[in-house]
Amino acid sequence: MKRLISLVTAALVPLLLVAATPAGAAHDHGGLPDWHLVLDDDFDGTGLDTAVWRPGWFGTGLTGPVNGLERQGYDSRNVTESGGALRLALTAERGALVSSNPHDGRASGGFEFTGPALVEARIRTPGNTSAPASVDNWPGFWSDGQRFPADGEIDTMEGLSGQLCFHVHDSAGAPGGCAKLDPGWHVYASYWNPGDKSVTFYYDGYTLAREPFTNGGAPQYLVLDNTSSSTPVPETMLVDWIRVWQWKS
pLDDT of residue 33: 65
What are the distances in angstroms from CA 206 to CA 11, 27, 153, 200, 244? Answer: 10, 25, 22, 11, 18
Instruction: Over range 239-246, report the average pLDDT.
Output: 97
CA–CA distance, 67 with 228 (Å, rounded to integer): 11
| Side chain identity, residue 127 | G
Q: Range with the lowest mean pLDDT among 17-31, 42-56, 95-109, 114-128?
A: 17-31
Per-residue pLDDT tens over the stretch 132-175: 889 999 999 999 999 999 999 999 999 999 999 999 999 999 99
CA–CA distance, 141 with 231 (Å, rounded to integer): 21
CA–CA distance, 223 with 200 (Å, rounded to integer): 18
Domain definitions of the chain by residue range? 7-247
CB 44, CB 203: distance < 8 Å = no
Per-residue pLDDT tens over the stretch 105-134: 999 999 999 999 999 999 999 998 888 889
Average pLDDT for the chain: 89
pLDDT of 20 above 70: no
CA–CA distance, 191 with 180 (Å, rounded to integer): 20
CB 60, CB 190: distance < 8 Å = no
Task: For the domain made up of 7-247, give the CATH fold.
Answer: Jelly Rolls (2.60.120)
